[in-house]
Amino acid sequence: MMRRAKILEAAIEGKDITKAAIETGLSPKTAASQASKILHDPITQRAFQMILAERGVTDEFLAQKIRGLLDAKQTLYFQKDGIITDSREIEALETQRKTAELVAKLKGHLREQSQLDVNIGLMALVVSAVRGVTDDDVYDV
In CATH, what number is assigned to the domain containing residue 23?
1.10.10
Judgement on whether residues 67 and 6 belong to the same structural domain of the protein: no
**pTM (whole model) above 0.75:** no
**Chain center to CA of 93:** 19
| Of 27 and 109, more confident | 27
3-state secondary structure of 78: strand
Q: Which residues, at least 6 apart from 120, have a Cβ–Cβ distance to it below 8 Å?
A: 11, 17, 39, 141
| In a shared domain, residues 47 and 78 | no
Q: Which residues pair with 80 in a beta bridge?
A: 83
Q: Note whether 80 and 137 are same-domain residues.
A: yes
Of 39, 54, 69, the residue at which a domain comes to its end is 54
At 42-84, the pLDDT tens digits run 888 888 888 888 888 888 888 899 999 999 999 999 999 999 9
Residues 108 and 130 placed together within one structural domain of the fold:
yes
Check whether residue 29 and residue 64 sit in a common domain: no
Residue 136's alpha-carbon distances to 76, 118, 133, in angstroms, are 16, 17, 8
Residues 94, 108, single domain; the answer is yes
79-134 pLDDT, tens digit each:
999 999 999 999 999 999 999 998 888 888 877 655 555 566 666 666 666 666 55
Tallying the residues shown for the chain, one arrives at 141
Residues 48, 107, single domain; the answer is no
Quote the domain boundaries for residue 17: 1-54
Q: Both 35 and 87 in a single domain?
A: no
Q: Determine the Cα–Cα distance for residues 36 and 48; give it in Å rounded to an integer.
A: 14
Query: 60, 43 in Cβ contact below 8 A?
Result: no
pLDDT at position 24:
87
* Pair 78, 127 in one domain: yes
Same domain for 85 and 111: yes
Most confident of 22-26, 40-44, 81-85, 134-138: 81-85
